[in-house]
Amino acid sequence: MKRHAVPLFALFCLAAVAALHAAPGNEPGVSSGSAPDGQGPRLMMAADDGWVFSVGDDPARSSPGFDDSSWIAAGIPSRIALGMPEGYWWLRAKLVVPPELRGKPVWFNTGKAWAAMEIYVNGVLIGLRGGMPPGYFMRPGLTNTALIPSSLVDGDGTVSLALRCYTKGTATFLPGFQLVNLEGADFLENVQNLFNGELYVVLAAICLFIGIYFIAQFVANPGEHAFLFFSFSLIFIALYFYDLGAARFVTTGLLLRAIARAALTLSMGFLILFFMRFFGICDNRILRGGIMAEMAVVFIAFILNAKGEAELNVVFNLSLLPVFAGILFGTFIVARAAMKGVPDALPIIVGLVVGIGFGIHDIIYQMIGVDPFAWLQGMSFFTLNLSVFVAMSWRTARFQKDLNRNTVEIQRQRDRLESLFGEIGRAVDETSEVAGKLESSVADVSNAAGRSANAGTSIGASVKRQNEALAEAREAVTGLLGSIEKVDAELESETVNLENGLEIVTGLLEGVGRMAGEIEKTAALSDALSLVGSQGEREVVELSSAIEKVRRGSSEIRGIVDAVNDFAEQTNLLAMNASIEAAHAGQFGRGFAVIAQEIKKLAAASANRACKIGEIMDSIDGLVGEATQASVRAAEALNHMAGETAGAALNIRTIVRDAESSRKQGAQAQAALNDIGSSASRVKSESARQGTYSSQVRGSMSTLFDCTGEVSGASDDIMKHDRNLVEQSSALQNLAAASRSIAGDLSALMKRE
């Protein structure tokens, strides 16, 4: 439906009604106008004077000679109180056919009387309005005409009319009667009844169709309660329109009429609920509950008053108050929606304005008490519902436009997606290839990490063995220091003994010198020499024993030096292995490589110091050998001196010669003892230097032990990083496998597409 359909249709209806009401003679008197299709002028003469009525039923009342002087005058148009819930009653009058209608066919127009009628002229039944019991029905919105045969018109133009009426209710309303010609009857039956009857049946069918359509929309989309509310509004207004326009209702009772009248209020209530939900304004549970309660009250009031037409009309007039209140509230909602810039509010505003105009038309005619050509209240509600349909059509059209635009965009995106699928296919192939390479690289990294972890484990084991070797070396160095201290003590003792021996030899030489001058004392000197020789022999034996101890200590020191050299070589080998493994570990092994280099330097320093100690021990061995030879010679000299002393008493010359020889040998012994003292001093000095070197070795061993701890910690870190590297390599392998799986899934998906 186009954008301006509602206002154009509404203006057309207004123009048509205005033209009908503006036709000449539309006042309660004579009405005339041009007849369609070239017929004569339309004549419509009021026939409201002289009518009397009486309650009850008697067939004789149709006779023109019946005495109705006691009946009650009915000022038409008027509301007549019957004083009974329902029943028969009669209207009678003598009418004069106007000169304009004489000699021509004349029709009697019942107007929109609220009663079923049998029309009698001079006692002859000429027509019906509605149906009498038991098939009672009556359509108050429609008019009926009955042809008055010219044979029943008196010569003076008078006719005797009697109307047998039946009404359900305590009162009835007679809007007015007319005498019309053929053109007027044709206009009333085919034009006026079209606007007051058949048109509403058509509108009812349209509203019912649209209502069913929106019920289908709600079934398709249960979340859209606005569709449900609008469909209920249309279905109820369709029932109301059918009641207004149908010539005969489905049943003859008033219950369905009451429901149809209540449908107007129900339709307006659901329309307000639709406005609230459609625009999202004042949509709250309390207000919805109030509207539902108001609809229920109005519906119950109609059901309880389904006793007569008059009662239903009273309730209907009262129900118009909430209906018009709903129209005002709906206008408020739509106005707020329009202020918010909702485009769907514009056609509804137009429909409200046109509908209110139709309603004002009916209100004016009700105020002046004139029955109009057509009551337009039905058009008011139809225009309003039609405008709502247009608004929803607008929204649907916008959605369709958006859908078309989105469809084009989706097609464009689909094309792009197809292109993207091609790129994805290539990316999938590349991903599969990269995943394969990644798996291979990760496998290499994992293997390298495993080898690094194994190397780290080997380093840890080597460090552990190095720690054990360092502990043994520390114990050996400690033993070496203890041995050196003992050697120092022995050397100190031997020095004292050498000094004593030197003094003795000096005294011996002095005695030998004096022996040449004192031969007489030879015996005593021989005894003394024998005693000194024995003592010297013992001292020489003790000196030899001390020298042997020095030699054994020197051997032990040489063994320690050899152990230190072996340890230095092993440490150097371990440092080289550690450097190689650190190089294998790459960045993680740099710190370990530095430590290994320091260990290698420390091992070289230990080897150098051990070499110096070996050189010192070689010197000590030479000195000890010389001391041993000297002690042997001293022992031989003392033994010889003892033998010579034993024969001194026999041969003084021999003694003198031996004494001279002893003097010379004593000098040699003195020189040898001096050499032994010097050697002992040097050995003592070298022993002190060896103690210093041993202390340095022990400090270096402590430093090496600490470095070994650091190496062990670094090895643990390397092993930890290697384990992390192995775990990350495993995760990368899983990721590569997942990438390959995703690539396969994407490839399969694109093949399905």
Q: Domain holding 657: CATH number?
A: 1.10.287
**What pLDDT, on a 0 to 100 scale, did the predictor assign at position 352?**
76
Is 258 among the domain residues?
A: yes
**What pLDDT, on a 0 to 100 scale, did the predictor assign at position 7?**
38
Asked whether residue 175 falls in the same domain as residue 227, the answer is no
Residue 611: which pLDDT band, with cuts at 50, 70 and 90? confident
**Considering only 10-19, 335-344, 619-628, 657-666, which range has the smallest mean pLDDT?**
10-19
Omega before residue 133 within 30° of 0, cis: no
Q: Would the pLDDT of 20 be above 50? A: no
Q: Which of 617, 614, 601, 618 minimizes the C-alpha distance to 565?
A: 614
Entry pTM: 0.48
pLDDT in tens, 485-505: 666 666 566 666 656 666 665
Is 288 among the domain residues?
A: yes
What helix, strand, coil percent values describe the chain, rounded to 5?
75, 10, 15
Asked whether residue 139 falls in the same domain as residue 284, the answer is no
Is 5 among the domain residues?
A: no
Asked whether residue 101 falls in the same domain as residue 236, the answer is no
The amino acid at residue 306 is: A
- In which domain, by residue range, is 608 found? 480-716
State how far the alpha carbon of 277 is from the alpha carbons of 269, 273, 288, 349, 386, in Å.
13, 6, 10, 17, 18
Q: Would the pLDDT of 458 be above 60? A: yes
- 430 vs 372, higher pLDDT: 372
Q: Which of 396, 421, 443 lies at the terminal end of a domain, its last residue? A: 396
**What pLDDT, on a 0 to 100 scale, did the predictor assign at position 153?**
87
Q: Which residues of 206-230 are buried (b: 16+ CB within 10 A; e: fewer)?
A: bbbebbeebbebbeeeeeeebbbbb
**What pLDDT, on a 0 to 100 scale, did the predictor assign at position 256?**
80
Is 361 among the domain residues?
A: yes
Pure H helices in 340-376:
345-368
Asked whether residue 144 falls in the same domain as residue 224, the answer is no
- 172 vs 461, higher pLDDT: 172
Is 659 among the domain residues?
A: yes
Q: What is the distance between the alpha carbons of residues 131 and 138, in angstroms, rounded to a whole number? A: 7
Is 222 among the domain residues?
A: yes
**Total residues found in the chain within this entry:** 753
Asked whether residue 225 falls in the same domain as residue 154, the answer is no
Q: Which of 363, 396, 429 lies at the terminal end of a domain, its last residue? A: 396
Reduced to 3 states (helix: H, G, I; strand: E, B; else coil), residue 68 is coil
Asked whether residue 68 falls in the same domain as residue 102, the answer is yes
At residue 179, φ and ψ (nearest 5 deg) are -110, 125
- 294 vs 395, higher pLDDT: 294
pLDDT mean across residues, the chain: 74
Asked whether residue 556 falls in the same domain as residue 661, the answer is yes
**What pLDDT, on a 0 to 100 scale, did the predictor assign at position 251?**
59
**What pLDDT, on a 0 to 100 scale, did the predictor assign at position 607?**
74
How far out from the chain centre does Cα 123 lie? Answer: 89
**Considering only 18-22, 93-97, 180-184, 638-642, which range has the smallest mean pLDDT?**
18-22
Q: What is the distance between the alpha carbons of residues 112 and 134, in angstroms, rounded to a whole number? A: 22
State how far the alpha carbon of 626 is from the alpha carbons of 129, 176, 547, in Å.
171, 173, 10
Asked whether residue 166 falls in the same domain as residue 240, the answer is no
Asked whether residue 605 falls in the same domain as residue 552, the answer is yes
> CATH no. for residue 161?
2.60.120.260
- Mean pLDDT score, 246-271: 80
At residue 464, φ and ψ (nearest 5 deg) are -65, -45
For residues 251, 256, 261 and 265, what is the CA-based torsion angle, rounded to 10 degrees?
-140
Q: What is the distance between the alpha carbons of residues 197 and 217, in angstroms, rounded to a whole number? A: 30
Question: Which of 268-282, 356-370, 442-456: highest mean pLDDT?
Answer: 268-282
Q: Which of 128, 100, 129, 98 minimizes the C-alpha distance to 113?
A: 129
State how far the alpha carbon of 397 is from the alpha carbons of 4, 277, 552, 617, in Å.
14, 20, 119, 115
Q: Which of 396, 425, 454 lies at the terminal end of a domain, its last residue? A: 396
* DSSP letter (8 states) at residue 282: S
- 382 vs 481, higher pLDDT: 382
**What pLDDT, on a 0 to 100 scale, did the predictor assign at position 608?**
79
Q: Which of 304, 607, 584 minimizes the C-alpha distance to 453?
A: 584
Residue 106: which pLDDT band, with cuts at 50, 70 and 90? very high
Q: What is the distance between the alpha carbons of residues 76 and 54, in angstroms, rounded to a whole number? A: 15
* CB hemisphere CA count around 430 (13 angstroms): 6
- Mean pLDDT score, 422-426: 67
- 37 vs 269, higher pLDDT: 269
306 near 312, Cβ under 8 Å?
A: yes
Is 22 among the domain residues?
A: no
**14 contact partners, CB below 8 Å, separation of at least 6:** 354, 357, 358
**100 contact partners, CB below 8 Å, separation of at least 6:** 30, 43, 45, 181
pLDDT in tens, 67-76: 999 999 998 8
Q: What is the distance between the alpha carbons of residues 151 and 155, in angstroms, rounded to a whole number? A: 9
Which residues are bridge partners to 117 per DSSP?
Answer: 129, 165
* CB hemisphere CA count around 292 (13 angstroms): 7
Asked whether residue 248 falls in the same domain as residue 110, the answer is no
Count of structural domains, the chain: 3
Q: What is the distance between the alpha carbons of residues 391 and 555, in angstroms, rounded to a whole number? A: 120
Which residues are bridge partners to 167 per DSSP?
Answer: 87
Residue with tokens 């008196």: 154
Handedness of CA 696, 702, 703, 708 (dihedral sign): positive
Q: Would the pLDDT of 510 be above 70? A: no
**Considering only 79-88, 372-381, 543-552, 741-750, which range has the smallest mean pLDDT?**
741-750
Tokens (6 digits) for 565 = 């050299």
Asked whether residue 170 falls in the same domain as residue 283, the answer is no
Omega before residue 134 within 30° of 0, cis: yes
Question: Which of 196-210, 402-416, 428-442, 504-518: highest mean pLDDT?
Answer: 196-210
Asked whether residue 115 falls in the same domain as residue 220, the answer is no
Is 432 among the domain residues?
A: no
Q: Which residues of 11-50 are buried (b: 16+ CB within 10 A; e: fewer)?
A: eebbeebeebeebeebeeeebbbebeeeeeebbbbbbbee
DSSP count for the chain of H helices, then E strands = 13, 13
